[in-house]
């Protein structure tokens, strides 16, 4: 099939996805975050059925009256049934496949998303991404030559008359430069396909646009913040972070993506943009840092470092009803275990290390969740095992504990802190016309 035919097929598929009706599959349970449990529905193979009308929805519960139990915490993210088996395996070898995925990812960003702000008037088709990349490349020194380990450049809107001169929208965003031949590019593009992009467990950053220049592709990504900036303030904030972290890891392992540097603070970022006015100027911490009301405004956490990630090759074919991360079993990493299995469990172990350090800030629940981190570090748990154990352990936490304040460690004892450097544009940085 030619590249043009593949692109046409992808676009037709995108348009059909965008018209899919939505539905919610909320399961009732006992107590969680002090209220009812909204657990993930059973995983099912919906690609063979015409009845999965809700399979393409992102059900971040929008009706506060219908789900009033969570009025004081935020919207729990409900899992959609996955669209295909975990062993579907995608292998893009041809250069033309990159073109198809670039078209698909950027076209998907133009469709309305339930996870994006309803108050924003800026859409992808009003943004000149090439102009933004040119403005960054015109800087001296080149910001793409001195990025952090994630290879991310933070773009802030110009503070001079550039916006008026070009009459173009230039919202804050992240820009990542990747080689066209890199596996990281293929992974990020594939994870931004419409059928995966709207899954609330998808922890890959959202691609807004892409600009190709010579051997590089500049991915313009949704702007994210460091996971703890502004700081998490109480137990419920930490619980929500760990929950989304495990859900995101489960999703990525379903897609056979591993190597996510889960133990590093720089690998975790948060989206605060859904409510730009959520930062309160009236309420500040003792250090003068504005507080973010994570109770009223839900946040989304993402894995931000895919520089060493890869899609693990299939070593065994699994049936369509295979579990989310098939074939891991129990036991610690050893030389007799398949390499693919080691990659998945290493992610879980790294994630367990990071969670263990986080829990030092919330001693009120550290004891109850000790069995979770122990199982992740030494029990050979897969990501979904850890997620399910975490949910079960949270059921036993009294409701009043979730509002207990966190007691962060002194800076020298905290996990590695990521540093984000923004790159505002000034008049002298404009590209010459």
Residue 74 has pLDDT above 60, yes or no: no
- Look at residue 64 and tell me if it is in a domain: no
Separation of alpha carbons 425 and 168, rounded Å: 14
Over range 360-376, report the average pLDDT: 96
Question: Environment class of residue 208 by beta-carbon count within 10 Å: exposed (0-12), middle (13-18) or buried (19+)?
Answer: buried
CA within 13 Å, CB half, 313:
4
Confidence bin at 341 (pLDDT 50/70/90): confident
Of residues 159 and 24, which shows the higher confidence score? 159
Highest mean pLDDT among 38-52, 182-196, 325-339: 182-196
Residues 433 and 330 grouped into a single domain: no
Note whether residue 296 is domain-resident: no
Q: Within 10 Å of residue 290's Cβ, how many Cβ atoms?
A: 13
Q: Does residue 392 lie within any of the structural domains?
A: yes
- Do residues 189 and 314 share a domain? no
Q: How far apart are the C-alpha atoms of 205 and 83, rounded to whole Å?
A: 20
Mean pLDDT across 68-85: 45
Confirm whether 103 is domain-assigned. yes
Summarize the confidence of residues 356-373 as an average pLDDT. 96
What CA–CA distance (Å, rounded) separates 38 from 31? 9
Check whether residue 358 and residue 427 sit in a common domain. no
Distances (CA, A) of 35 to 29, 392, 394: 9, 14, 11
Give buried/exposed letters for 69-90 (b at 16+ CB in 10 A, else e): ebeebbbbbbbbbbbbbbbeee
**How distant, in Å, are the alpha carbons of 65, 196, 270 from that of 204?**
30, 10, 11
Task: Give residue 90's pLDDT.
Answer: 39
Q: Is the pLDDT of residue 72 over 50?
A: no
- Cα gap 4→10, rounded to integer Å: 10
* Number of domain units in the chain: 2
Residue 35's pLDDT is 42
Residues 354 and 216 in one domain: no
pLDDT tens digits for range 218-256 = 999 999 999 998 889 999 999 999 999 999 999 999 999
Same domain, 207 and 353: no
Whole-number Å distance between alpha carbons of 203 and 255 = 11
pLDDT digits over 263-308, tens only?
999 999 999 865 444 444 444 445 555 556 666 677 999 999 999 9
Q: What is the pLDDT of residue 408?
A: 83
Question: Do 251 and 395 belong to one domain?
Answer: yes
User: What is residue 82's predicted lDDT score, i.e. its pLDDT?
Assistant: 47
Specify the pTM.
0.67
Mean pLDDT of 72-92: 43
User: pLDDT at residue 428 above 70?
Assistant: no
Residues 201 and 156 in one domain: yes
Residue 421 predicted with pLDDT over 60 = no
pLDDT class for 356, splitting at 50, 70, 90?
very high
The pLDDT of residue 223: 94
Q: Is residue 166 part of a domain?
A: yes
3 state SS for 130-141 = HHHHHHHHCCCC
Tokens at residue 35, please? 């209220």
Report the C-alpha gap between 410 and 321 in whole angstroms.
47
Distances (CA, A) of 350 to 6, 250, 321, 379: 38, 14, 28, 13
Radius of gyration of the chain (CA): 22
Residue 352: give the domain boundaries. Answer: 232-264+305-407
Of residues 305 and 71, more confidently modeled: 305
Residues 131-150 pLDDT 10s: 999 999 999 899 999 777 88
């Amino acid at each position: 099939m030619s590249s043009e035919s593949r692109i046409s097929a992808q676009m037709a598929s995108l348009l059909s996805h965008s018209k899919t009706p939505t539905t919610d599959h909320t399961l009732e349970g006992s107590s969680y975050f002090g209220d009812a449990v909204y657990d993930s529905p059973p995983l099912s193979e919906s690609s063979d059925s015409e009845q999965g009308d809700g399979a393409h929805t992102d059900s971040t519960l929008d009706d506060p009256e219908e789900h009033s139990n969570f009025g004081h915490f935020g919207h729990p993210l409900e899992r959609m049934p996955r669209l295909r088996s975990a062993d579907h395996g995608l292998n893009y070898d041809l250069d033309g496949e990159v073109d198809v995925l670039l078209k698909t990812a950027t076209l998907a960003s133009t469709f309305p998303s339930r996870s994006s702000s309803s108050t924003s008037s800026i859409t992808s088709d009003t943004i000149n991404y090439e102009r933004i990349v040119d403005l960054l490349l015109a800087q001296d020194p080149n910001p793409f030559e001195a990025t952090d380990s994630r290879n991310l450049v933070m773009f802030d809107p110009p503070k001079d008359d550039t916006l008026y001169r070009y009459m173009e929208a230039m919202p804050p965003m992240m820009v990542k430069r990747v080689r066209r031949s890199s596996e990281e590019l293929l992974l990020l593009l594939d994870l931004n396909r419409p059928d995966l992009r709207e899954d609330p467990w998808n922890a890959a950053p959202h691609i807004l646009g892409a600009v190709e220049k010579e051997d590089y592709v500049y991915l313009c990504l949704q702007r994210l913040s460091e996971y703890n900036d502004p700081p998490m303030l109480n137990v419920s904030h930490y619980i929500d972070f760990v929950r989304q972290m495990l859900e995101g890891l489960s999703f990525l392992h379903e897609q056979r993506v591993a190597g996510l540097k889960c133990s590093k603070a720089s690998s975790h970022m948060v989206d605060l943009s859904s409510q730009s006015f959520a930062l309160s100027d009236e309420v500040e911490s003792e250090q003068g840092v504005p507080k973010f009301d994570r109770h009223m405004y839900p946040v989304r956490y993402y894995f931000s470092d895919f520089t060493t990630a890869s899609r693990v090759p299939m070593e065994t074919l699994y049936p369509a009803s295979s579990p989310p991360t098939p074939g891991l079993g129990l036991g610690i990493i050893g030389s007799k275990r398949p390499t693919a299995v080691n990659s998945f469990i290493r992610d879980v172990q790294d994630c367990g290390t990071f969670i263990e350090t986080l829990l030092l800030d919330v001693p009120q629940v550290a004891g109850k969740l000790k069995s979770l981190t122990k199982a992740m570090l030494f029990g050979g748990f897969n990501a979904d095992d850890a997620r399910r154990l975490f949910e079960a352990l949270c059921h036993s936490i009294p409701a009043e504990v979730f509002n207990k304040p966190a007691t962060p460690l002194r800076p020298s004892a905290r996990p590695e802190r990521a540093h984000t450097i923004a790159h505002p544009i000034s008049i002298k940085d404009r590209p010459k016309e």
